[in-house]
Amino acid sequence: MGAQLVALVFARWTHLNDTDFRILMRMALTALDQERDGAPPHLYFGGHRLLAESLRRPFPQGDSEQARKARQNILKDVQRSVKRIAAEGALEVVDTGRVVRQGEARTYKLTLWTRGGVMSPPSGGVENPPSTPSTEQNDLTSGGVLSPTSGGVLSPTSGGVLSPHEGGFSTPPRNHGGTTEGTWEEDRADAGEQPPDARAPEADDEPASLRLVETDGVRDPAPAGGGVPGQQTFIASVATSSPPLSPSAAPEDLEPPYGPCGSCGRNVLRSRRLCPHCKKPTRIGEAS
């Protein structure tokens, strides 16, 4: 059994078509790697019938005319295949001599070493061809393209790593000659995003705080909820971004906007000079 010959067929002769590859593989499997019991190595003398069986085509039996023609057609295919293999340089026909069995016509010598510059095997038998890294593998390992540690392709020009474990590219920000707040705003604008101050309010956003401010108001002839017609209004509720003052942070002299009228005792604005109820000076803080 020529195990080393079979390895050479796989290493150097896979470019053959299916029929030629099967026949050459059968020859390599039948021939000897080294001389044994007086039989020389690298010779095939098993005949075309054994090669025809490697094609996995039905080989008809019997003496009928149809079976005979079918066998002849298969054997002719084998002969044509052997000629193609010999033209490729994988074998040659040698003198039959003493090694040919009774009834066999030809002996083939396998010359599987002709591809790749090696013309003949060493005298001791067949050796496996030396394994040399290809140019493509050298380019992949030396150029920094293949990154086995990250599981993907490392691109030295873009600086990103394509990793199946991470799910995509990780690329650096655009080069604007320096990373500043302005350049990030340009990137957001290019991407169609809203600036932070102009975005729509989210559902989770807290409402803006409110604070009371004093206004001059307008006269209301019929105030809602009761009250004296014609009185000047009130304190307006205005939204502001300033946080409300806590009691501890308020100044000590901060007074409420309302106070009791010094004449009638009803609450009026401290800024009013005349009480809207009794029509007298307010004199807040002087009530008896």
In this structure, is residue 73 part of a structural domain? yes
Residues of the chain short of pLDDT 70, as ranges, are: 1-2, 95-105, 115-255, 285-288
Smallest CA-to-CA distance from 7 within 175, 145, 129 is with 129
Strand partners, 212: 237
Structural domain includes residue 66:
yes
pTM over 0.75: no
Residue 122 maps to a domain:
no
Would residue 188 count as lying in a domain? no
Q: Which of 93, 110, 127 is the last residue of a domain?
A: 110
Does residue 43 sit within a domain?
yes
Listed residues 110, 125, 148: the one ending a domain: 110
Final residue of a structural domain among 110, 138, 158: 110
Q: Is 153 helix (H, G, I), strand (E, B) or coil?
A: strand
pLDDT of residue 20: 93
Q: For residue 215, what pLDDT is reported?
A: 53
Reported as type and span, the H/E element at residue 66 is helix 65-88
Backbone φ and ψ for 269, nearest 5 degrees, come out as -65, 140
Tally of domains within the chain: 2
Domain range for 79 is 3-110
Instruction: State the pLDDT at residue 179.
Output: 47
CATH number, residue 92: 1.10.10
pLDDT of 18-68, one tens digit each? 999 999 999 999 888 888 888 888 888 888 888 888 888 887 888 888 888
**Residue 92 within a domain:** yes
